[in-house]
Structure 1
Amino acid sequence: MSLPQVFRYRGREVYKIRNNLIHYGNPDDKFVAVFVVLGTEEYKGYKISSPISVELQINNPKLTVRERVVKKAEADNLYKALELAHVWLVQANGK
């Protein structure tokens, strides 16, 4: 298994876990954001992720997935999902 490709958005790591699952946030923080790509659409010959489910989760692997979810919303595209998650993470992690 190869390591996921990581890039940064507003100082936090963004990495793809599976085909439709993206994590956003620093692994050492108490909270992270998880994106689930619900569908794709064509735009000028490119596949664009839309809509995207956004979840703020407690970063604790001992909890079940259902117990980890603190907030949940849906965004039209990846940019809006990242912006929403950034606000949530700043509020939740205090930085």
Structure 2
Amino acid sequence: MAAIVLKRYHNFNGDRLYKHVEAFLPSYAQPRFVRIMDVMQTTATFKHQKTHLANEGFNPEIISEPLYFMYEPAHSYIPLTREKYQKVVSGEIRL
């Protein structure tokens, strides 16, 4: 998963991110999930706090921020809804 903070007045573009990831990252490094955050939480020494992100995982029931997942048939990152989450967990949608 990648957690990102968008620049002010910018919108998330799943198609564009997918093309960029495919072009520049090997398959094992491509994030399957993207979480859009308002602000990245840091420690007193400016390190990113990742443990709470890892604990929350990618469950849209827990996370209130926008979540997207890499959907290869569409060549895009698409919103992770509760229905799609269930299909991912059950294996109906393969990552």
Give your verdict on TM over 0.5: no
Compare CA radii of gyration and give the structure with the larger one. 2
Highest relative contact order (Cα 8 Å, sep 6+), 1 or 2? 2
TM-score (norm 1): 0.31
* Structure with greater strand percent: 1
TM-score (norm 2): 0.31
